[in-house]
């Protein structure tokens, strides 16, 4: 998949089949839309293209009005969104900076400047609630009329439902905020995950368990930065880590701002996903994970972030979380064994 910041690039496709949206989470509704887009693109002999925005338009307006509470919680980072779009077979993604100029652009100018001249849209697929342009004045009828006069086809896709529930980014956010990770996975069509480069921290995790007999490296963690201040999920989770070994590694992770750490934390104030693998790969050594790209699946929420009054209390808390994570994986293994036994009997 080719990725462009803006559309003024010499190697961007001269024509495309296009869909437009924020695609936060790339949930099952998005996936159905992208499958249709890919089919229509192949039928016309042009690449499929997603036009998305960074920051999220609601982020921009929340900042402009100095009302951060209006910003939506972010399901995924831009990296994760692009990875999922690639996985869905999209051939080209254009990330358009959402700024004052775009926010104030009349809808007809957006059609002419972005869709026609910028992207050469031959086919435009939108959702049933699509609005665009300054004051959200543009709607499907306006887009369809412009398509008739300017030579591109416009189609609209109805909401996607699972067991009568409308699949939307809002529904995914609600599930994640409530810690309902299985519900989020059903809406997403996969376990909720965060990926990124492993970055350095204070290496405090190695010290936390050092006083315990046989603790070795203590609670070594993989640190991933979540590049938005307001993640949709937060707390302590049972996780599975991909990218460090041939098989996924079980672990426990903290997603948040780490209230028990001191101000010397080099990532202080940033949202961080700190993951402790229950079994650290020996071949990585002490420093072998830094710089690697890993993907962490958040499978089950244990509890919200807690503020401990001492490092000893924090150490005991992490140890309990690790025990609970091991119990979760053990129960999952037993449940899968029973299901397999039942299938074999059938």
Q: What does the pLDDT look like over 178-209, one tens digit per residue?
A: 999 999 999 999 999 999 999 987 666 555 65
Residue-wise pLDDT tens digits, 68-85: 999 999 999 999 999 999
Contact 42, 91 (CB under 8 A): no
Q: What is the pTM of this model?
A: 0.90
Q: Give the largest Cα separation in the chain, rounded.
A: 76
Alpha-carbon distances, residue 21 vs 25, 310, 328 (angstroms): 12, 46, 37
pLDDT reported for residue 211:
46
Residue-wise pLDDT tens digits, 105-157: 999 999 999 999 999 999 999 998 899 999 999 999 999 999 999 999 999 99
DSSP label at residue 241: E
How far is residue 218's CA from residue 208's CA, in Å, rounded to a whole number? 6
Percent of the chain with pLDDT over 90: 76
Helix (H) or strand (E) holding 145: helix 140-150
DSSP label at residue 257: -
Number of residues that make up the chain: 346
Residue-wise pLDDT tens digits, 242-251: 999 989 999 9
* Per-residue pLDDT at 335 exceeds 90: no
């Amino acid at each position: 998949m080719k990725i462009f910041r803006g559309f003024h690039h010499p190697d961007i496709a001269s024509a495309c089949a296009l869909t437009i949206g924020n695609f936060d989470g790339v949930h099952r509704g998005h996936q159905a839309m992208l499958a249709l887009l890919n089919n229509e693109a192949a039928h016309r002999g042009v690449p499929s293209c997603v036009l998305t925005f960074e920051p999220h338009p609601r982020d921009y307006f929340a900042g402009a009005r100095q009302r951060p509470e209006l910003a939506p919680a972010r399901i995924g980072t831009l990296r994760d969104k692009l990875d999922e779009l690639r996985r869905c077979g999209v051939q080209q993604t254009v990330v358009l900076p959402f700024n004052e100029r775009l926010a104030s652009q009349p809808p007809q100018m957006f059609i002419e400047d972005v869709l026609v001249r910028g992207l050469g849209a031959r086919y435009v697929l939108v959702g049933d609630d699509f609005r665009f342009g300054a004051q959200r004045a543009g709607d499907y009828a306006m887009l369809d009329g412009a398509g008739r006069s300017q030579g591109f086809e416009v189609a609209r896709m109805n909401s996607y439902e699972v067991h009568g529930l409308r699949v939307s980014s809002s529904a995914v956010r609600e599930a994640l905020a409530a810690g309902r990770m299985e519900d989020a996975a059903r809406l997403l069509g996969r376990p909720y995950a965060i990926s990124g480069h492993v970055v350095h921290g204070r290496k405090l995790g190695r010290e936390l368990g050092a006083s315990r007999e046989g603790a070795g490296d203590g609670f070594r963690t993989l640190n991933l930065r979540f590049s938005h201040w307001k993640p949709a999920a937060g707390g302590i989770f049972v996780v599975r880590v991909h990218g460090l070994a041939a098989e996924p590694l079980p672990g426990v992770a903290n997603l948040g701002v780490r209230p028990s750490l001191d101000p010397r934390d080099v990532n202080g104030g940033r949202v961080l996903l700190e993951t402790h693998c229950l079994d650290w790969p020996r071949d990585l050594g002490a420093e072998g994970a830094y710089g690697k790209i890993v993907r962490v699946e958040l499978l089950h929420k244990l509890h919200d972030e807690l503020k401990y009054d001492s490092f000893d209390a924090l150490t005991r808390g992490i140890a309990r979380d690790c025990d609970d994570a091991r119990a979760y994986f053990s129960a999952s293994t037993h449940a899968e064994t029973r299901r397999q036994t039942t299938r074999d009997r059938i």
